[in-house]
A and B are shown apart, each in its own frame.
Chain A
């Protein structure tokens, strides 16, 4: 190996050692020996909940998982059914106006009304209102 090459390599090595030394300044643990222990502790303590969730899942058997699901699903389904029942009962037509087609109107009987009453739209108590025309 020539002297020049050796010199260049030594020089490179010196500078790399210098780079290495300078890079150590980027290591927060270089001046604070407890830094990395604290760093790890912060991460692990931040993960406590997730780890507990995973432990719980891992310890559960298939039947426990199903029971767990049922525990959540059954009350939810009951509440949903009750709510749907209420909505249906509330939404059920009570004594609203009946809607009839023209053909039905022609053949159905409207008790208690005379023809003049029905044919006069402005008459009080006229049970017929033209709501839509469909062709």
Chain B
């Protein structure tokens, strides 16, 4: 373990300080979990704006209920449960599933024109394939492939057995690969042309 990692305050320490109103500690918790919180929210609500709202609200709810976090070492998992619940409430409130929404990537803040051209087709396909996945698989793919969490971390924080995480990831990726192979110019097509 590097000295940098050793110096990094644990979730338990940060939670204890945040309980006493330490804004810096709370800020560190936010910075540590904002991306996974957003990823989980996005995998539930499917829209950038709603995911942003749900994730931000979840942090505030978590702060208000910090005493209910019985195991501060597992703050991340506890927070993600709040994020998931807030996101589901948001869906219920706005009946998002009944509407045909713009893909989340397209709603991301100001993508450059080049990037849009490069990835829009791919992203649309991926977006469609993601929608077909069960919610838990969407979460796992986002946390693993977007946030870089390891199987063990995902298992701990989603309270799932590591084998289940691996299995979900395997099936999710298989479905995504299949979707991407249908894309003209996908790796297999290129290789065949060689």
Closest Cβ of chain B to A50, distance in Å, is 5
Interface residues of B in 7-58 (CB under 8 A from A): 18-23, 26-27, 30-31, 34-35, 38-39, 42, 48, 52, 55-56
Asked if A70 is at the interface of the complex by the 8 Å CB criterion, the answer is no
| Majority-rule SS of A interface residues | helix
Chain-A contact segment, one of B70-78, B82-90, B94-102, B139-147: B139-147
Interface residues of A in 2-36 (CB under 8 A from B): 11-12, 14-16, 18-32, 35-36
Across the two chains, which residue of chain A brings its CB closest to B141?
A: A23
Known: A23-B142, A50-B60, A51-B63. A16 touches B108 (CB 8 A): no
Known: A15-B181, A47-B26, A54-B21. A22 touches B60 (CB 8 A): no
Docked-complex contact A43 and B56, CB < 8 angstroms:
yes
Docked-complex contact B21 and A51, CB < 8 angstroms:
yes
Residues in B with CB closer than 8 Å to A69 are none
Q: Which of under 10, 10 to 19, 20 to 34, or 35 or more describes the interface residues of A?
A: 35 or more
Asked if A132 is at the interface of the complex by the 8 Å CB criterion, the answer is no
Closest Cβ of chain B to A18, distance in Å, is 6
Partner of B146, one of A23, A42, A53, A55: A23
Residues in A with CB closer than 8 Å to B115 are 25, 30-31
Residues in A with CB closer than 8 Å to B142 are 23, 26
Residues in B with CB closer than 8 Å to A47 are 23, 26, 59-60, 63
Residues in B with CB closer than 8 Å to A67 are none
**A-binding residues in B (CB < 8 A):** 18-23, 26-27, 30-31, 34-35, 38-39, 42, 48, 52, 55-56, 59-60, 63-64, 104-105, 108-112, 115, 119, 122-123, 125-126, 141-142, 145-146, 173, 176-177, 180-181, 186-188, 191
| Majority-rule SS of B interface residues | helix
Residues in B with CB closer than 8 Å to A53 are 21
A-B contact pairs, 27 of them (CB 8 A): A11-B187, A12-B177, A15-B176, A19-B145, A22-B125, A23-B126, A23-B146, A25-B111, A25-B119, A25-B122, A26-B105, A27-B35, A28-B38, A29-B35, A31-B112, A39-B56, A40-B27, A40-B34, A42-B56, A43-B34, A47-B63, A50-B64, A52-B21, A54-B18, A54-B20, A58-B20, A58-B21
